[in-house]
Amino acid sequence: MGRPLRSDGRQTRQAILDAALDLFAENGYFGTSLREIARAVGVRESAFYNYFPGKEALFHALIAAEKESHVERLAKLLEAPAGDPRAVLEQLAAMTLDAFSAPRQQKLFRVLMSDGMRLAKEGRLNFLERMTSGSDRLQALMHRLIEAGGLRPRNPELLITEFMGPLLLWRHRQALRQAGPLLTNRTAFVREHVDHFLNGAIAPAPTAPLRRRRRTAGARRRRVPQESTRV
């Protein structure tokens, strides 16, 4: 990637972010140097510090930009009337999978998969905060669906955990490039996922057949013989 002609500071900063994301996704966070990022953008390494104090700050800028984009995507859905719970949840699931499929999201997720645990252990990344980003807003959505009568009264935190779990698993399978109908037919997966969430996995109890009542010997009524009276 060459340096953009007539680029201002914002363009150069964005070019650094784009190059860093590409290199992090390809070589990992720890396998990428500032010199390589600067070379990819076409600036001197010393000029890099005009935009970011270091590689860790650059990485956190990528995380922050992704988080801001995530909040913007959720805003319209979370502020809209609750309406039909099935339609709301299908829209949420479809929007989430669309976000997971975006190229920048996929690259950032590869970085977190390869180096996330080490970054967390070294205190460079709050993994719990990263995993629960937007959780409060999603819980508020579940609470609204409960108040509207669309969901049974349950803990909103548990509800959103149950709802997002299969979507996060879908994201892992996509990152691993696993084949299967869950990935190829996204619309069908969304419908089936929401249907399963609303109806659960338990099968209805079978109706017991009517049985004839059997009298046990001890429960049988005994006929008491009547004594005949003589006149």
**DSSP letters spanning 213-226:** ----TTTSPPPPPP
Query: How far apart (Å, rounded) are the C-alpha atoms in residues 110 and 166?
Result: 19
Superfamily of domain 1-52: Homeodomain-like (1.10.10.60)
Q: How confident is the model at residue 132 (pLDDT cuts 50, 70, 90)?
A: low
pLDDT in tens, 138-163: 888 899 999 989 899 999 999 999 99
pLDDT in tens, 45-98: 888 899 999 999 999 999 888 888 777 777 878 777 777 899 999 999 999 999
Place of tokens 């009524």: 221
Q: Under DSSP, is residue 175 helix (H, G, I), strand (E, B) or coil? A: helix
**Global pTM value:** 0.76
Contacts of 125 (CB under 8 A, 6+ apart): 59, 63, 116, 119
| 207 has pLDDT over 80 | no
Nearest residue to 62 via CA among 122, 109, 98: 109
Place of tokens 């057949």: 209
Query: How far apart (Å, rounded) are the C-alpha atoms in residues 58 and 214?
Result: 80
Query: How far apart (Å, rounded) are the C-alpha atoms in residues 98 and 186?
Result: 9
| CATH code for the part of the protein at 63-199 | 1.10.357
Please report, for the chain, the start and end positions of each structural domain, with discontinuous segments joined by +. Answer: 1-52, 63-199
Query: How far apart (Å, rounded) are the C-alpha atoms in residues 39 and 37?
Result: 5
Alpha helices by DSSP H, listed for 132-209, are 135-147, 156-175, 181-184, 186-199
Q: How confident is the model at residue 223 (pLDDT cuts 50, 70, 90)?
A: low
